[in-house]
Structure 1
């Protein structure tokens, strides 16, 4: 096996981790923009708190992926993808307690961008999380 062939998988994993980190950060930025800034909190209060928690966890997941703590990083990244996807469906479908502003608003541009980023993150993170669990690596 050549020297370059042995190094290719490590480079591939680094690219995947970088892509995951960037997607996590994109989810955070989209939600900061949607809530009106870092210091703003959406109403009702529990929605605002959920936004802040999502943004913090997205940054933590990105950092974990970049420093090589991949199992926890991919687990958090999957949560960063699934949480807002579920929130989007519930807020646009039946609505959430004390929050009916977005019912039926399926085509909001920022929401669609968020869905695309979260979908890409989910498609990347779940297989790599499963692989990390099978390999028993951290």
Structure 2
């Protein structure tokens, strides 16, 4: 959600005045997918939600580097503006989301983790154990 808000702020909220048009479309898609991904992560954080989260973190990060480095076709507004405060905050948030998504996607799921523990000799959790806790 924070990534969507940062990009809404960067485009003056609902002014939709980013040019060229493909940059504006990218902003709107990122904001929509960011909000949908946040909802999915809150309601059912499955593999699909975490894959979307990785994309929401990585895509604007790549856009930041390209727009400030070599530049994008027809878009020079941010070229060389590496230390713009909102952009730096955005990079931090995007990087954290991407890393969190990678951890979530590569960590063993809870049932698999329990099965691995049992194979390693750890005692299984029983209904009685849950009642004690």
TM bucket normalised to smaller:
0.7 to 0.9
CA change 1:132–1:74 in 2 (3 A) is farther
Q: Structure 2, unaligned stretches of length 5 or more?
A: 113-133
Q: Aligned partners of 1:43 and 1:35: how far apart in 2? A: 10
Q: Per-residue displacement from partner, 1:58-88 (whole Å, max 9, x unpaired)?
A: 0111111111142111110100000000000
Counterpart check, 1:109 vs 2:85: yes
Counterpart check, 1:129 vs 2:105: yes
Q: Structure 1, unaligned stretches of length 5 or more?
A: 1-24
Residue number in structure 2 paired with 1:5: none
After the TM superposition, list the runs of 4 or more consecutive aligned residues in structure 1 that deviate by more than 4 angstroms.
none
CA change 1:130–1:43 in 2 (3 A) is same
Structure of higher RCO (CA pairs closer than 8 Å, 6+ residues apart): 1
Root mean square deviation of aligned Cα: 1.7
1:39 Cα deviation (Å)? Answer: 4.5
Give the number of the structure whose residues are more often helix, by fraction. 1
TM-score (norm 2): 0.78
Q: Per-residue displacement from partner, 1:30-73 (whole Å, max 9, x unpaired)?
A: 00000111342411100000000000000111111111142111
Larger Rg belongs to:
2
Residue number in structure 1 paired with 2:8: 32
Number of residue-to-residue matches in the alignment: 111
Cα contact 1:27–1:58 (8 A) shared by 2: yes
After TM superposition, the structure 1 = structure 2 runs for residues 1-138 of structure 1, keeping only pairs within 5 Å, are: 25-131=1-107
